[in-house]
Amino acid sequence: MKLTHILSSALFASTLSATAAMADMEITIDGVDASGGAIHVLAFNDQRAFENNMFAKMVSYVKIPANEGTVTGTLPGLEAGTYAIMLHHDANDNGQMEMKGPVPEEGWGYSNNAGTVGIPTYAEASFEYTGDNNPTMKMNYAPK
């Protein structure tokens, strides 16, 4: 019985320790050009998933109401590690990136402010998250 109690306590302590390592990443997005719609924020910790838009493999997601200027949101449950973040200002909130040929008609952005003129690689967009270094990103829009 004593061994069972010790093992249960050890399991509980390891669970608390793992839970304590998780943090909510606060995201700040500057340069939102108009209110309306939503901003989708997707976090990836895998190069292949990020570079191939494998959305089912994102590790965290939040949908933020879009307001002109600066918006903030929280990506929940991330542990310290390497991440690349992708933004999409879905102005009509239909869940799709509107395109005119190869040019996006809605806003986009990436961590490290990568991808202003093309789709960045994971190496260009990724950063080390320590649990308290919350990123600020800029939303990009194609000239109208």
Residue predicted with more confidence, 7 or 56: 56
The mean per-residue pLDDT over the stretch 71-100 comes to 96
Where does the pLDDT of residue 11 fall: very low under 50, low under 70, confident under 90, or very high at 90 and above?
Answer: very low
Question: Distance between CA 94 and CA 139 in Å, rounded?
Answer: 18
- Please tell me the pTM assigned to this model: 0.83
Residue predicted with more confidence, 20 or 78: 78
Comparing C-alpha atoms, which of 78, 67, 72, 8 is closest to residue 43?
A: 78
Structure letter (DSSP) for residue 140: B
Question: Distance between CA 60 and CA 20 in Å, rounded?
Answer: 17
Would you say residue 110 has pLDDT above 50? yes
Check residue 43 and give its pLDDT: 98
